């Protein structure tokens, strides 16, 4: 059995499962420094060789950055695997150029958990669940404003990847009209789900619930800002379970304060955790705010831990990982492995 060296960050997710799983496979664990809560770990250039020069694999979390310089310093690197579904912390383009495979935790327990959370938020917002609970706790019995049904309403999906499709699948039979905006989706996907493809502005104007399902890129950063919020109905709700920076939080706070939209459900933040002076934290009844864990479950944690182990071990053995972020690298990756093996 090869004596692989696997780099784990100082604040490793699912540590109680991942570490013994790798050690049972004969891996030597090398730990990075612990970070400061709420601050991304950026490895100092002068420490890169000492930290990464001898590692065969890296398991990354969203709490550290892995730019080109880190990947270049990891001369023996066979695989870098994100412990979660997101890979924004990894320079995937640089990894692809270098012939390094990037794996991630694209398990159904993860993305379908987000889909379930979206439906939860939509119902809680439309039904005004928070206000009704507060009314009862304040001994107000059946106030006059009852909220609304989701039935016969229009549900807008910005992005029709795994999560957006999962939401559409869960809304089947609910009697809702579904609009979708995704310039990259194959047309048969929305057709199969009964989703009407349209442009973003039309979706915003016509939807009663707008839910965001995009990865964070230059194109999607502040995709929803002042102009887009002004297009929404005053009775509409915005849901963001994707990436915090897809929404301009300052613009959203202004829209909520002015009553330009009815409410919002936010699980992701531009800065995580948000600072105490984040203007969204002032809203009570018309906002449901959660700490980027609404979709989490024990099933998800168990699946992500096992997948992090499996992706890493498969990559070390030269086998394709279970979930690959950059599949076009695979031929170049096999060539890199041959060079590393001296064959």
Active site residues: 243, 272, 292
Q: Which ranges in 36-153 belong to alpha helices (H)?
A: 48-52, 68-73, 92-98, 108-126, 129-137
Give every CB contact of residue 86 below 8 A, 6+ residues apart in sequence: 62, 104, 215, 243
Give me the residue label for tokens 């229009």. 154
How far does CA 244 lie from the centroid of its chain?
A: 9
Question: Comparing C-alpha atoms, which of 184, 165, 50 is closest to residue 118?
Answer: 165
Question: Comparing C-alpha atoms, which of 199, 244, 215, 250 is closest to residue 229?
Answer: 250
* Number of helices and strands in the chain (H, E): 13, 12
Q: Which ranges in the chain belong to alpha helices (H)?
A: 15-24, 48-52, 68-73, 92-98, 108-126, 129-137, 162-170, 188-193, 200-206, 226-231, 249-257, 298-317, 330-341
CB contact at 8 A, 137 and 162? no
């Amino acid at each position: 059995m090869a004596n692989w060296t696997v780099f784990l960050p100082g604040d490793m997710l699912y540590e109680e499962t991942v570490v013994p799983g790798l050690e049972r496979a004969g891996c030597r664990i090398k730990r990075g420094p612990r970070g400061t809560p709420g601050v991304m770990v950026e490895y100092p250039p002068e420490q890169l060789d000492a930290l990464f020069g001898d590692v065969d694999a890296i398991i990354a979390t969203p709490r550290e950055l892995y730019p080109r310089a880190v990947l270049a310093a990891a001369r023996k690197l066979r695989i870098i695997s994100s412990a979660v579904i997101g890979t924004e912390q990894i320079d995937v383009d640089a990894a692809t150029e270098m012939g390094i495979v990037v794996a991630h935790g694209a398990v159904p327990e993860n993305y379908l958990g987000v889909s379930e959370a979206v439906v939860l938020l939509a119902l809680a917002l439309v039904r005004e669940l928070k206000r009704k609970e507060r009314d009862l706790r304040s001994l107000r019995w059946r106030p006059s404003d009852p909220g609304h049904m989701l039935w016969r309403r229009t549900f807008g999906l910005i992005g029709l990847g795994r999560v957006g499709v999962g939401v559409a699948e869960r809304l089947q039979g609910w009697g809702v009209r579904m609009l979708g905006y995704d310039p990259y989706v194959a047309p048969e996907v929305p057709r199969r789900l009964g989703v009407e493809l349209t442009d973003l502005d039309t979706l915003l104007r016509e939807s009663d619930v707008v839910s965001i399902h995009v990865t964070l890129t230059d194109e999607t950063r502040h995709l929803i800002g002042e102009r887009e919020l002004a297009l929404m109905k005053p009775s509409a709700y915005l849901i963001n379970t994707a990436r915090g920076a897809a929404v301009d939080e300052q613009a959203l706070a202004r829209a909520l304060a002015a009553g330009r939209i009815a409410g919002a459900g936010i699980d992701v933040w531009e800065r995580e955790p948000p600072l105490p002076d984040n203007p969204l934290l002032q809203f009570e009844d018309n906002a449901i705010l959660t700490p980027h864990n609404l979709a989490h479950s024990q099933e998800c944690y168990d699946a992500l831990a096992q997948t992090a182990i499996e992706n890493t071990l498969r990559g070390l053995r030269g086998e394709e990982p279970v979930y690959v972020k950059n599949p076009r690298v695979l031929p170049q990756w096999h060539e890199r492995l041959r060079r590393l093996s001296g064959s």
